[in-house]
Structure 1
Amino acid sequence: MKHLLTSGGISNPSIEQALVDLLGKPIAEASALIVATGMYPFPGGSGMARDAITGAASSPLAGLGWKSLGVLELTALPTLRDEAWVPDVQETDALLVYGGDVLYLVHWMRESGLAELLLTLKDSVYVGVSAGSIAVTPYNCDAEFDLEFVPEDSDMGRDAERALGHVDVALYPHLGNPEMPDTTLENIGRWADRIPVPVYAIDDDTALRVENGKIDVISEGTWKLFPA
């Protein structure tokens, strides 16, 4: 599967062109499914999920003018027969995985079977935003924050620092965001010192394009690579 891992969505022309290149056709000719499940653990999460799905969110994703756009709700998938949803994922051009709670998102990607299904897709494009990007890396930089939202008596917090590992690098989004004090280079560097894979710190105008094991940085902003 091809990956476009963003911090703030399709936020500038360079990232949009990278998406078009991965799709192999204009966005207006491509189909997409959006996953907003990661928003639910937060207060007001239902409204934030609505904004992501309708294209009203600040991170451009659903409102890019797709030929068709469907909603893939991960929490519903374990109650469905595979034939009700698997063909939709297999046939879509792009899977748009919005942000939110990495731990919750990874949990439901595994529980639903989507995580395993993604490994079988070759031509589809996985587009992540923030938590949606972190989810396919090996490590969750938001683990400490996400644990605050785990329900009591739930084992969801087990191995909170691990994500799916579908790509071979770790990601720390929202670099330098003044509303997120943990996104300074100093703080990210301390976290990266504990991680045995390369860590990319990226701001909202930067993305990673990952295809056939090759990683390209697409940026009109600021980023830094911390070697393993």
Structure 2
Amino acid sequence: MKLLLTSAGVKNPSIRQALVDLLGKPVEEADALCIPTAGYGHPMGSPAGAWRFITGRSTTPMCELGWRSMGVLELTALPSIGAERWLPWVQQADVLLANGGDALYLCHWMRRSGLAELLPSLHDKVWVGLSAGSMVMTPRIGPDFVEWTSPTGTDETLGLVDFSLFPHLDHPALPENSMADAERWAAALPNPAYAIDDETAVKVADGVVEIVSEGHWRLF
């Protein structure tokens, strides 16, 4: 699966172009499914936040980019309806858009639903992550980002990439997300890690990692 791991959505022309490159066609010709699940697991999550994400009324552009079609894939519902029902929806989509929120909660429901097991076989699909929706693809999120307690009791996530992500670097509303905080966070991890601001994304295709940025970032 091709990945576009963002801090705050498709915030600038460079990130949008990276998305088009991964899709291999204009956004307007692509069919999308959005995944709001992560928002429900975070203490700051709310029904209003999920609605803003789905309807494209947030400050983190994802669903409002002009897709040919848009649907909602709620992972907590999938175990109750069976893969024979939802698998065709994923197969027919070009891109999955994963909301922010709690990465461990999202990871849990990706595994529980069967979506996590499916992802490596979706070679022609694109995953666009927003904050936690990006962090879920990494091997670990680090203790600083643990809010919801996973059944595993760890900070481990899916590990589809070999690096961790520190989003919202130097965000004015998040004083705990300074570069010094990111450096301390990265020092406690056994793998490489990127700190990225809201104008930056990590593009991963065919094992090649590329930073797409109109802001600032750092590799640890």
TM-score category (smaller protein): over 0.9
- 1:153 matched to which residue of 2? none
Distance 1:44 1:106, change over 3 A: closer
Which stretch of structure 1 is more off in the superposition, 126-135 or 174-183? 174-183
The one-letter amino acid of 1:193's match is: A
The one-letter amino acid of 2:53's match is: A
- 2:84 matched to which residue of 1? 83
State the distance in 2 between where 1:144 and 1:191 align: 7
Distance 1:157 1:145, change over 3 A: farther
The one-letter amino acid of 2:90's match is: V
State the distance in 2 between where 1:59 and 1:224 align: 21
Distance 1:144 1:184, change over 3 A: closer
State the distance in 2 between where 1:95 and 1:30 align: 11
State the distance in 1 between where 2:30 and 2:135 align: 24
Aligned partners of 2:170 and 2:177 also within 8 Å? yes
**Is 1:19 paired with 2:13?**
no
Aligned length: 219
Aligned partners of 2:146 and 2:155 also within 8 Å? no
Aligned partners of 1:140 and 1:160 also within 8 Å? no
State the distance in 2 between where 1:211 and 1:221 align: 21
- 1:2 matched to which residue of 2? 2
DSSP 3-state at the match of 2:129: strand
> How much does 1:145 deviate?
4.8
> How much does 1:102 deviate?
1.1
DSSP 3-state at the match of 1:32: strand
> How much does 1:157 deviate?
4.9
Runs of 4 or more, structure 1, over 2 Å off, are: 41-44, 143-147, 156-160
TM-score, length-normalised on structure 1?
A: 0.92
Equivalent pairs: percent with the same residue? 52
TM-score, length-normalised on structure 2?
A: 0.95
State the distance in 2 between where 1:194 and 1:59 align: 29
- 2:110 matched to which residue of 1? 109
> How much does 1:18 deviate?
0.3
- 1:69 matched to which residue of 2? 70
The one-letter amino acid of 1:188's match is: A
> How much does 1:94 deviate?
0.4
- 1:216 matched to which residue of 2? 210
> How much does 1:173 deviate?
0.4
- 2:169 matched to which residue of 1? 175
Could you list the runs of 5+ residues in structure 1 that have no partner in the other structure?
151-155
**Is 1:128 paired with 2:129?**
yes
Q: 2:160 aligns with which of 162, 166, 176?
A: 166
> How much does 1:144 deviate?
4.5
Distance 1:119 1:103, change over 3 A: same
Aligned partners of 2:10 and 2:62 also within 8 Å? yes
> How much does 1:159 deviate?
3.3
Aligned partners of 1:103 and 1:157 also within 8 Å? no
